[in-house]
Structures are given as structure tokens and as C-alpha cells.
A and B are shown apart, each in its own frame.
Chain A
Amino acid sequence: MARVVIVGASVAGVGVANELRRLGHAGEILLVDGQDHLPYDRPPLSKAVLLGEEADAGLPFHEAAHYAGIGVELVLGRAAVSLDAATRTITLADGTRLRGDAVVIASGARARRFPAGLAEGPVWTIRDLADAHALRRQLRPGMRLAVVGGGFVGAEVASSARKLGLEVAVFEAAPLPFLRILGPTVAAELAALHEGAGVALRCGITVDRISRHGAAQRLHLSDGGSEEADLVVAGLGCLPNVEWLEGSGLPLVNGVVCDAFGRTGVDGIFAAGDAAAWFSPLAGRHERHEHWTAAREQARIVAAAIAGTEATAWEAFVPYFWSDLHGRRVQVLGDTAGAEEVSFAHRDEARGAFLVEYRHGGRIVGVAGCNAGARTMRYLAQLAPAAAEAA
């Protein structure tokens, strides 16, 4: 029976293992990860973990007994360092070699760091559990925190830090955070959320370098000004973990290049999640997705491809992500970037709720909701008729 080696035990990797068993795959499954923790979920890292509410956060995907129960062997604490594509053999950091009849690359991504040469003091990032634990130990009420980059990770760190009683400033290069993906209407709403929570939002500005200033740090800004902070966190997006595949012969262009089934072009080698750039039949190009639900959906499709069963097509997937900011839940469904028309469909000030529809050519292509969970997700049916039918 076929042996499947999965590299990376986050959403995509664990998802492939679970789906394979659900589909009746009877061969060995090995789940490899460089970290020595029971596989865990990342969304709580910038929220519950920073707030010290980790115990209730549902951090591990499963207890150890789950993996034993479904016959998935965890190979933890040893990172994959190379792949021999021709023999589908992975080499681990300690020299162990693992050969698979199928290999799934789900090695994820890492935080993009503030350029080391431009910062004298520490600039924190948050990607792994160890990062979140380290940052949590730094956060003290009354401290001044500077967040470089206004994306969702930066915004969630800002939100958690405000809740913990820090003074927070967010530095964003664009005129508003989230402008490119959500457009000006919703970007302005989210900026108002920050400001309502007492976050100082500095937009249209970049941090050129960071110098030490006594025990604090001084951020030198593109407008010639400067700001002081006790702690600096960078939320500058992430980069795919594919360096270990250099020399493998796999096509690497901003991730492992795959078709719309996660196939790399080398027989039996697949990729899914943040490390993979899947072909999008709708967009006509390869795209790397960094959202939880995209990784989970790719896992479902790859598992089906390995097991030889049918799955709903990648083009039927409706992008979805969520964030928790200043006590509000933000949910985004569908394609909100570059829509022609944006309009409010619902607003309830008392609940801090709104729902915005995005249209292209008169057709709804996406929605963004705040504290409007049920209402927002009711759009799934009209955004995904094909997915609902085919499943």
C-alpha cells in the first residue's frame, strides 16, 4: 500500500492526513515537522496566546491519541532539509531519509522580517508558537508598542496589545490598511475600529530604520519624523518556506508551482498551503494563498488526488478569511479586491455591525462583514452555487 510523506504539520499537512484516512487510504502516513509541538493552529497566536488565554484557544488541532487512532505517524522536531524528487525521498535535519510513494510539500511560510541591517534593536515577528510566547513575555501594560505594517497580523497584535493596556501605534505604507484587498469603504471602517480602540494609526508612511534610544527604540519615518517605542513588532507578510527544495528540480516561483490539483509536475509530488502556488483557472495564473481556509481546501483536493477519488474543483472554492479586531469579528468572503461597486447592505451601530457587498458587472462577487457572522455567511450559497452542487 502507498506510503505518503507529508512535510509540514499545519492546516494543510494535518488536513491532508485526516482527509486521506477519511477517504479510506490504507497505507502509511508520515507527518513531518521541524517544530517539536503537537500540531497546532496558528490563528490564536496573535489573539488568545498573546492575551494569555491559550488554554481555551483550541491550539492543538488534535490530541496525540487522534493521530495514533487513525494511524498517522508524527515525525516532529526534525525539519526536512532536502528532497530528491526522482526517488521522492526526503532528508531530515538529522540525516534520516524518508521515501514516499507520494510526497506532500506543506512546509508553509515564515514571517518577512524587518531588514536586520536597518534595526539596531530587536524587531519581533509572530508566526510560530515560540514567537507568540516570546512576544507575550514582553508585553506589559503602559509600554509603547510600534507595529510596522497594518495587515491582519499587525492589526491583531495591535488589538491584543491594546486589550493588555499598551499604547499602540501602527505604521502603514498605504493610505489606509487593507485598502488593496478590501477597498476604501471597508478600509475606512476598520481604520475607525483602530482609532476607536485608541490605536494611533499612521498611514502613508514607512519606517526607514530603527535606532536604539536608551532602553527604547526610535523609528525613523519616511516623512522625516521619528517616533519612540519600547517594543517593535513587524507585520510585513510572509515568505514561502521553499529554500529546502532548491536543487530538487521542482519549479519554484514564489512557492512550489502546481496545477489546480496541487500536482507539481513530478509524479507523486504535491504541494499545498502557504508554500504552494496553485494555478487558478479563473485568474489564469499561479497564485500563492496565505489563508487558513485555502490551505484546508487544498488539503482536501490533494488528498483526493492521492486517493484517486473525486473532489470539488479548486475554482469552485470561495475564499474566506476572518479576523478578530478590538472585540469585533471581521469576515471576508469571495473576491473583494478591485470590485467596481461597493455598497452597505446592513448597518447596526448598536452592535458595531455592518455588511458590505462587492459587485462586478452587476453581480455580487464578495462580501465583508463585521459582527454580522450569520448574515455574512448566508452569501456563501450565491457565491458558490457550483461548489454546493458538486459536493
Chain B
Amino acid sequence: MRVTIDKSRCIAAGQCVLNAPFVFDQGEEDGIVILLKEDPPPEQEEHTRRAARLCPAEAIKLHD
């Protein structure tokens, strides 16, 4: 699985960090998404999928 993010769509709602904290972080000041792992390990895939599904801004794209 490969992950890409669209920072221009991000609204800093924090669902990604809540659901997949090893894959995503947020900017200290603006809260905008920071991608920690472009290729999450298999044990993080389910969390990453949930993060992508729950991102209200649809700013996370998964490429299987």
C-alpha cells in the first residue's frame, strides 16, 4: 500500500492521527497533515484505511 496526501484539501480535523498515529502526524501550528510513512507496514494497513475513510476532507489517497 502506498499513501499520498493532498495538503490543500486538509482541514486539520485530526481523524488521521486519531486512527493511524504511526502513519500520520499534524503540523505543530496549523495542524495540517504530515505523512510519516508513505508505505505503511502491513500491520498498519487497516488503521491507514480507516484514516482515509474517515478523513472528512478526503485528503488521503491510498494506492494498492
Contact = CB atoms under 8 A, between A and B. Distances in A.
A22 B8 contact: no
Contacts of B1: none
Contacts, number: 71
A297 interface: yes
Interface string B15-31: 10111000001111111
A57 B19 contact: no
B30 A329 contact: yes
Contact of B28 (A58, A293, A374, A384): A374
A373 B18 contact: no
Contacts of A162: none
B9 interface: yes
B20 to A, nearest CB: 12
A144 interface: no
Interface in B1-54: 6, 8-9, 11-15, 17-19, 25-32, 50, 53-54
A206 interface: no
Interface residues of A, number: 30
Contacts of A353: 29
Give chain B's interface secondary structure class.
loop
Contact of B12 (A322, A351, A391): A322
Interface string A358-385: 0000000000000111111110110010
Nearest to A328: B29
A377 B13 CA distance: 7
Given A58-B9, A331-B12, A377-B13, A18 B58 contact: yes
Most A CB within 10 A of own CB, among B9, B13, B17, B53: B13
A56 interface: yes
Contacts of A391: 19, 50, 53-54
Interface string A283-309: 000000000110011000000000000
Contacts of A22: 53
A67 interface: no
A373 B26 contact: yes
B18 A372 contact: no
Contacts of B18: 377, 380-381, 384, 388
B31 A377 contact: yes
Given A320-B13, A373-B27, 17 more contacts: A22-B53, A293-B11, A322-B11, A331-B12, A331-B31, A372-B28, A373-B26, A375-B28, A377-B14, A377-B17, A377-B31, A378-B14, A380-B14, A380-B15, A384-B18, A391-B50, A391-B54
Interface of A: 18, 22, 43, 56-58, 292-293, 296-297, 320, 322, 329, 331, 333, 351, 353, 371-378, 380-381, 384, 388, 391
22 contacts: A56-B8, A320-B14, A322-B12, A329-B30, A329-B31, A331-B12, A351-B29, A373-B12, A373-B27, A373-B29, A373-B30, A374-B25, A374-B28, A374-B31, A375-B28, A376-B31, A377-B12, A377-B13, A377-B31, A380-B15, A384-B18, A391-B50
